[in-house]
Amino acid sequence: MTGICIGMIGYGEVGKIFTEGLKNKLGVASMITWDLKFAAPGTSPDLSAAAHRMGIAAAAGMAQLCEAATLIVSAVTASNTLAVAQEAARQLRPGTLFLDLNSASPGTKRQAAEAIEAAGGHYVEAGVMTSVPPYGIRVPMLLGGAKAEDLASTLRGWDMDATAVARDIGVASAIKMCRSIMIKGLEALVIESYSTAHYYGVADKVLPTLAETFPQIDWPAQGAYFFSRVVQHGKRRAEEMRESAATVREAGFPPLMAAAIAEKHDWVARLAAQGVFDGVPKDAPWEAYAQRLLSIGAKQD
């Protein structure tokens, strides 16, 4: 693929990382991005200016992005996965590739694919298999769809870690969602276990027992990372876990654990929005986050 214009829908953490990492790749002629915040009072100038400083054109809306782009990348919140695909389907040119990075259930991804394909586009789902920031554009991704292998080849040419796993939509997202139940579940368990241990003053006894069972994990450091990521991105993680719950439900049984994990992440997100963690540095030890949780006590629901 040459002369590609990449259209990035969503200029949040992932969108910024991907646009910055891809803008100078061979074959990429231009880049354009659109985010709902561009149209929000008080946020548009700063966010649009940030895109321009990075050499990325800020679109006036979805229509402008779809008119320019030959490869659209959707990097929005899980709850907006389908709505964004449906809106793009009303605007995109036939033949456009649509790469969906969002963490959504197989059923949601199939609905999104139907919308894009009906408009003459080519839908490729991606299961992004770990947190993006440490890896940048080299974050491992599993692709699915009729054009998955072709697109994976292009992405690997851009030094990305992309592997086509199926021509059918839903396989890559199922892998991602099942993994998310474990990873986001572990985050939720760590927050609850560590905070409770901190309350009782027994953390120095509990964490060594974890290290005995799983010695390859640095439990204090991993705990601090889990706390910080949920505090920063709890809302997004809760949305992803609701899609994980939908994945379980689509499999035919109640998502008891996935639903509870979503509630835990959402709870932390609400506290963060209320300012409970204000002033805690991102690289703070886990105890700093746990102490803030304990400080609110039974006052929070």
Side chain identity at residue 274, one-letter code: Q
pLDDT for 1 equals 65
Burial class (CB in 10 A: 0-12, 13-18, 19+), 121: buried
What is the spatial distance between Cα 174 and Cα 112, in angstroms, rounded to a whole number?
15
List the single range of 29-33, 258-262, 293-297 with lowest mean pLDDT.
Answer: 293-297
Each residue of 253-273: pLDDT tens digit?
999 999 999 999 999 999 999
Which residues make Cβ contacts (< 8 Å) with residue 112, sequence separation at least 6?
Answer: 81, 82, 85, 86, 100, 104, 123, 125
For residues 286 and 227, is the Cβ–Cβ distance under 8 A? yes
Which residues make Cβ contacts (< 8 Å) with residue 254, sequence separation at least 6?
Answer: 248
User: pLDDT band for position 301 (50/70/90)?
Assistant: very low
For residues 161 and 128, is the Cβ–Cβ distance under 8 A? no
What is the spatial distance between Cα 252 and Cα 102, in angstroms, rounded to a whole number?
23
Identify the structural domains of the chain with CATH numbers, from first to last. Answer: 4-168 (3.40.50.720), 173-299 (1.10.1040.10)
pLDDT for 50 equals 85
Percent of the chain scoring above 70 in pLDDT: 96
pLDDT for 46 equals 79
Mean pLDDT for the stretch of residues 104-125: 98
pLDDT for 42 equals 65
For residues 118 and 100, is the Cβ–Cβ distance under 8 A? no
**47 or 257, higher pLDDT:** 257
pLDDT for 74 equals 98
Per DSSP, the residues of the chain read --SEEEEEE--SHHHHHHHHHHTTSTTEEEEEEE-GGGGSTTTHHHHHHHHHHTT-EE-SSHHHHHHH-SEEEE---GGGHHHHHHHHHTTPPTT-EEEE-----HHHHHHHHHHHHHTT-EEEEEEE-S-STTTGGGS-EEEESTTHHHHHHHHHHTT--EEEEESSTTHHHHHHHHHHHHHHHHHHHHHHHHHHHHHHT-HHHHHHHHHHH-TTS-HHHHHHHHHHHHHHHHHHHHHHHHHHHHHHHHHTS--HHHHHHHHHHHHHHHHHHTTTTTT--TT--HHHHHHHHHHHGGG--
Closest by CA to 29, choosing from 50, 1, 51, 60, is 1
Mean pLDDT for the stretch of residues 154-175: 98
Mean pLDDT of the chain: 94
Each residue of 190-248: pLDDT tens digit?
999 999 999 999 999 999 999 999 999 999 999 999 999 999 999 999 999 999 999 99
Mean pLDDT for the stretch of residues 102-129: 98
List the single range of 7-11, 34-38, 49-53 with lowest mean pLDDT.
Answer: 49-53
What is the spatial distance between Cα 288 and Cα 282, in angstroms, rounded to a whole number?
10
Mean pLDDT for the stretch of residues 32-41: 86
pLDDT at residue 298 tops 60? no
For residues 262 and 238, is the Cβ–Cβ distance under 8 A? yes
pLDDT for 48 equals 83
What is the spatial distance between Cα 180 and Cα 162, in angstroms, rounded to a whole number?
18
User: pLDDT band for position 40 (50/70/90)?
Assistant: confident
